[in-house]
Structure 1
Amino acid sequence: MKKSNATRMPMLGVAFVGLLAGAGAAHAADPSAGASTASSTSNSSSATQVAQAGGSISSAAPLTLSQASTVTAPLSPPPSLYTPPTSWNDTYIGYRVGTNFYYPGVRTASGAPAKITQNIGYLTTTGGFKYGSYAFNVDYLVSSMANPEAGPTNAYGYATAGSGGAQEVYSVGRVTFSASKIFGRPFSYGVMRDFGLTVGYEFGTKNDAYAERARMVVVGPTIDFAIPNGFWNVTLGVRTESNHDGITNVEVHFNPAVHLESSWLYAFRLGPVPLVFKGFASVTGPKGRDGFGVETTTEFLTRAYLLADVGSFVGHPRTAYMGLGYEYWHNMYGTRSSEQPGTTQTSVPMFVAEIHF
């Protein structure tokens, strides 16, 4: 059951990257955490900073992840009519489920790629402060028995399958420092609304045989683009990563890698139905050899949601969202498809629901 040592992003996740990904202001008919993603993520989530839903359209929105892979908060609130106060917050819980997940090296007894169902709960908080914005997300992922938790070791020192599905905790965080807020004057030009610096982390642990212990740091400049009724930001920077490989029992310290992540949120209406389209995407370049001594390759993770403000139909707008999501992960963890055929790519539709406080 060979897996690469790379890590889940997100939300940011977008993880976050989770996706990491809820928002406060473009939350009129929307939500989304904006930390540019996840990894990866997480899960994704996160990355990354991979993105979720939130706040009031009068209190802008950030987002990872990671999740995940990754989450990224928007540098500044949506423009003009949707200008929020300097300080604001949107905190929410969510649930998503999909039945077509894959992980590198995870196979059935016959050797075929194992098709995994995952139930994922997440907690996201996003907001703005005097000098910028932030987004933090944590995913709790429970796999079906197709991806079992690690049981007792056998005579050869390898973990056997446990009695339940593997469980994973993956967190993505991003803080973006806004040039406009710090210097007290607009840093907008053409389609650019603001400019800033994003710093963030991703952390993950999983109790399967691979025994992931992901630790990542992300840093890079961010551009926030001016779009109506929402946000869109892009970060280009560097990601460092260390991880644990339970199969070979080694700690892996990857080379710093080029990392590109983006998160977005757009609120709109379709007839009487208020909707929000949000998500994140991330690209991470090769980062050296994994725990098996194999060279990694470029990985791509995206997670997107189309959610309806169902709370508005019972007199509580911007509190409950429900809809569909989609996650695509290519060369998962940086694993080449030639190394683990059929298990390095996930393409999965999901059901998604969120409750905002």
Structure 2
Amino acid sequence: MHTTRKTALALALAALSLAAPVSAADWSDTALSVRYGERFAEPFGPNDIGKTIIALTHASGYKYGVNFFNADVLISDSSDPAVGGRSGAQEVYVVYRHLLDLGKVTGTSLAWGPARGFGLTAGFDLNTKNDAYSSRKRMFVLGPTVMFDVPGFLNLSLLALQESNAPNGVSRYTYDTHPALAAEWSLAVPGFPLLAFQGYGLYIGNKGKDEFGGDTKPETHVDMKLMADVGALLGGPKGTFKAGVAYEYWRNKFGNDTKGPAGSGATARTPMVRVEYHF
């Protein structure tokens, strides 16, 4: 199937899957966003790639926890070429996470010190990309989560990752199960009620040998954004239209050693602009 058709199908299925459970949710937030940067990087390639990323994001809370879904469509410029080199590569990356709140399940407060509760996180990542490597990633995640008592939210998880890939249509290769320390946050900015500091950070342990027999390296991946509620600032409804700046840092991307053959493209330092429409 052509990549554009895959993209359209992925987003259509995502929208349908999100529509059904909204009525059962205690709260929900769905957004379309666009972000752009000119300093993305890919291993074994340049570290000045322009990308436009279109995303569908959904978060909702119900009686026992929280669901999170995100589908990114990443469109590169010609510095990151598609197979055949006629245009920039296109990628679809899907993330799903479910956080089960153990205090809500048991009906008992598990607040302790700075923690408001504890939970269990599970989910998966999927991707497809039409560059020379042609990634077909699958990853499953599972682990405990601490939920901190802050304005907004701050969660810290210790996860086990089970990842595999089948690049270029070859037999699927499974990496060693490996750990990750993951933080996710959405925090109010003191004194600025219409600003929010949001993002996630990951420290990912090495995943053993890669599919070519080389050693993988631990990864550090941080993606953060400072968003202003522009709609409310202009007198419109609160929480509908947001704009801001973002920054991504990713060292040893996909486990590739930035000091090895993957070169400087294995580390990304990417400022971005971002807009979001919430509905």
Q: Is the 8 A contact 2:230 2:242 kept in 1?
A: yes
**What's the TM-score, normalizing by structure 2?**
0.87
Query: 1:179 deviation in Å?
Result: 1.2
Write 1 or 2 for the structure with the bigger share of strand: 2
- Partners in 2 of 1:216 and 1:249 — Cα distance? 17
Q: Is the 8 A contact 2:52 2:75 kept in 1?
A: yes
Q: Is the 8 A contact 2:47 2:268 kept in 1?
A: no
Q: Residue in 1 aligned with 2:55?
A: 122
Q: Residue in 2 aligned with 1:170?
A: 93
Q: Deviations over 1:135-157 (max 9, x none)?
A: 00000000000011102xxxxxx
Residue 217 of structure 2 is aligned to residue 217 of structure 1: no
Unpaired runs of 5+ residues, structure 1, are: 1-84, 107-112, 152-160
1:192-207 superposed matches below 5 A: 192-207=115-130
- Of 177, 180, 183, which aligns to 1:262? 183
**Corresponding letter in the other structure for 2:39:** N
Q: Is the 8 A contact 2:25 2:60 kept in 1?
A: no
Residue 275 of structure 2 is aligned to residue 342 of structure 1: no
- Partners in 1 of 2:247 and 2:82 — Cα distance? 25
**Corresponding letter in the other structure for 2:276:** E
- Of 152, 155, 159, which aligns to 1:233? 155
- Aligned pair count? 254
Q: Is the 8 A contact 1:303 1:325 kept in 2?
A: yes
**Corresponding letter in the other structure for 1:189:** W
**Corresponding letter in the other structure for 2:62:** F
Q: Is the 8 A contact 1:114 1:146 kept in 2?
A: no
Unpaired runs of 5+ residues, structure 2, are: 1-23
Comparing both chains, which one has the higher relative contact order based on Cα–Cα distances under 8 Å and sequence gaps of 6 or more? 1
1:1-357 superposed matches below 5 A: 87-106=26-45, 113-151=46-84, 161=85, 163-227=86-150, 229-246=151-168, 249-268=170-189, 270=191, 274-312=194-232, 313-337=234-258, 338-357=260-279
Q: Deviations over 1:93-129 (max 9, x none)?
A: 11100000110012xxxxxx35210000000110111
Query: 1:249 deviation in Å?
Result: 4.2
What stretches of structure 1 move > 2 A for 4+ residues in a row?
A: 248-251, 268-271
Q: Deviations over 1:183-226 (max 9, x none)?
A: 11211011010101110100000000100000000000000011
- Partners in 1 of 2:69 and 2:173 — Cα distance? 25
Q: Is the 8 A contact 2:122 2:143 kept in 1?
A: yes
Query: 1:269 deviation in Å?
Result: 5.5
- Partners in 2 of 1:291 and 1:165 — Cα distance? 25
Q: Alignment partner of 2:262: what SS?
A: coil
**Corresponding letter in the other structure for 2:76:** S
Q: 1:269 to 1:259 in 2, by over 3 A?
A: closer
Q: Is the 8 A contact 2:78 2:87 kept in 1?
A: yes
- Partners in 1 of 2:137 and 2:200 — Cα distance? 20
Q: 1:167 to 1:182 in 2, by over 3 A?
A: same
**Corresponding letter in the other structure for 1:186:** S
**What's the TM-score, normalizing by structure 1?**
0.69
